[in-house]
């Protein structure tokens, strides 16, 4: 038994949230997501690949912003992979008891889960996004020790180069979409994530180009010939800084100036979109 009771766990997570400088609620989310993922990887590591923030953690060994949910992909049909998730929820093998609160099928390739985690008197909800995906590159990485009592274990994840390519593509796609619809740019966590991926990892630039080209060909949402490589100019920074600051509070970004984030990303995009 890792903790004798809920008071012991509360004290531990309270201390860790202060040490890591994250909101107490995020500490609970991280703890229970990590616990669920360990159970899932132990029994079904051949079926699922971790994406999103938890994958970035495995690739960079750096918790650059609080983890709010778990993104996983599977080559299986969404019904079959969802069944495995539910089976894992119901497999009560330790002191943490999981129960399904809600399952929402958004498309025939995506399912969202809301899961209640119970330990003694503690009850906390976590979210999991599951997608059917056949085009990922799977590698094995250890999930590093972030909280003092974490136990390192291995997960299947996508490589850092695919993360960087995906973030670049999402930023370009959203920029083009919002420009056509005359809407404000959103999802500044993608900007922030890309900044930290570039600055906190060693990666193969040619592989990034390969994955980015694959995204252009696969999705066909962006005409590369019409892309404006000067899209993130001084006017963009001026017009969007307030929205970035709002996301900074919402997602718990570190204190990094928007101009610094944009300058790094601008250099990266200009070097790849020719």
Q: What is the mean pLDDT of residues 131-156?
A: 92
pTM for the whole thing? 0.91
pLDDT at 96 over 80: yes
Which two three-digit tokens encode residue 120?
């003694």
- In the structure, what pLDDT confidence band is assigned to residue 222 with cuts at 50, 70 and 90? confident
- Report whether 19 contacts 4 (CB < 8 A): no
Q: CA-CA distance, 166 to 151, in Å (whole number)?
A: 29
pLDDT attached to residue 1: 57
pLDDT of residue 186: 77
pLDDT of residue 111: 96
Q: How far apart are CA 157 and CA 160, in angstroms?
A: 9
Residues in CB range of 26: below 8 A, 6 or more apart = 17, 66, 67, 68, 252
Tens digits of per-residue pLDDT, 156-204?
A: 999 999 999 999 999 998 888 877 777 777 789 999 999 999 998 899 9
Question: In this predicted structure, what is the pLDDT of residue 51?
Answer: 93
Mean pLDDT of the chain: 91
52-60 and 24-44 are packed helices; what angle lies between their axes, rounded to 10 degrees?
Answer: 90
Share of the chain above pLDDT 70, in %: 99
Tell me what pLDDT residue 155 has.
95
Q: How do residues 240-265 score in pLDDT, each as one tens digit?
A: 899 999 999 999 999 999 999 999 99
pLDDT over 60 (residue 29):
yes
**If pLDDT is split at 50, 70 and 90, which confidence band does 28 have?**
very high
- Give how far Cα 214 sits from Cα of 178, 199, 219, 220, 240, Å: 23, 23, 8, 10, 29
Q: Which domains, from first to last, does the chain contain?
A: 6-158 (3.30.460), 161-272 (no CATH)
pLDDT tens for 45-76 read: 889 999 999 999 999 999 999 999 999 999 99
- The pLDDT confidence band at residue 91, using thresholds 50, 70 and 90, is confident
pLDDT at 176: 81
């Amino acid at each position: 038994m890792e903790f004798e009771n809920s008071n012991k766990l509360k004290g531990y997570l309270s201390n860790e949230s202060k040490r890591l400088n994250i909101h107490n609620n995020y500490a609970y989310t991280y703890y229970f997501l990590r616990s669920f993922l360990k159970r899932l990887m132990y029994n079904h590591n051949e079926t699922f690949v971790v994406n999103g923030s938890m994958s970035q953690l495995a690739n960079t060994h750096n918790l650059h912003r609080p983890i709010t949910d778990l993104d996983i992909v599977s080559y299986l049909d969404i019904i079959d992979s969802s069944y495995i998730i539910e089976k894992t929820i119901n497999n009560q093998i330790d002191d943490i008891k999981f129960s399904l609160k809600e399952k929402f099928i958004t498309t025939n390739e995506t399912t969202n889960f809301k899961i209640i985690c119970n330990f003694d008197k503690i009850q906390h909800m976590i979210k999991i996004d599951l997608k059917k995906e056949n085009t990922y590159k799977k590698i094995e990485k250890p999930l590093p020790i972030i909280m003092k009592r974490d136990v390192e274990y291995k997960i299947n994840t996508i490589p850092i180069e695919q993360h960087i390519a995906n973030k670049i593509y999402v930023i370009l796609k959203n920029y083009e979409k919002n420009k056509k619809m005359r809407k404000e740019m959103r999802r500044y966590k993608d900007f922030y994530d890309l900044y930290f991926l570039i600055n906190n990892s060693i990666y193969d630039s040619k592989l990034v180009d390969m994955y980015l080209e694959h995204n252009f060909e696969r999705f066909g949402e962006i005409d590369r010939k019409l892309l404006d490589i000067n899209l993130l100019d001084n006017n963009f920074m001026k017009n969007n800084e307030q929205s970035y600051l709002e996301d900074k509070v919402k997602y718990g970004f570190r204190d990094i100036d928007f101009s610094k984030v944009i300058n790094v990303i601008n250099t990266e995009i200009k070097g790849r979109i020719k």
